[in-house]
Amino acid sequence: MNPESEDFPVFQSIVLKNAAPYQYMKVCLLLEDESTKLIAVDFKQFIIDGLRALHGEVGAALQFDVLKYDEDTLTAFLRVSKSDLVKLWSSLTLAGKYKRQTCAFRVLQVSPFLLSLTADSRELKLD
């Protein structure tokens, strides 16, 4: 039997890698003075200022969203288009000062799926 005959159906496998339009990041801001608190607006403005410092006005116009922000832990979930992920990540990496005190962003998780950021196997506690 000839596999190309009309008796056999033809199958085609299509794989889409990273078809998601957005990337989601879980980030944490570490400050020298741990008692310093930032509200969500100041947190986002600090990120925009970092984008402006590294990438200029074009970087400051980069579209990203703070989906959730915890003022106590300075942890946030960010959404950015996958084409702008590298710009945002690089500006977070190079942020070093917030109001004359040393700081650093920790990128805890990155995923094209928001649901995957809700659980972390490193923080899993079994009873």
What's the rounded Cα separation, in Å, for the pair 95 and 42? Answer: 14
Write the CATH number for 104: 3.30.70.3250
- Whole-model pTM: value is 0.78
pLDDT at residue 36, rounded to an integer = 86
Domain-located, residue 69: yes
Identify whether 58 is part of a domain: yes
Could you tell me the residue range of the domain that residue 36 belongs to?
22-110
Number of domains in the chain: 1
Averaged over successive runs of 10 residues, the pLDDT of the chain (127 residues) comes to 64 72 94 89 94 92 94 95 94 91 93 82 70
Asked if residue 47 is part of any domain, the answer here is yes
Phi, psi of 81, deg, nearest 5:
-65, 150
Asked if residue 16 belongs to a domain, the reply is no
Counted residue by residue, the chain has a size of: 127
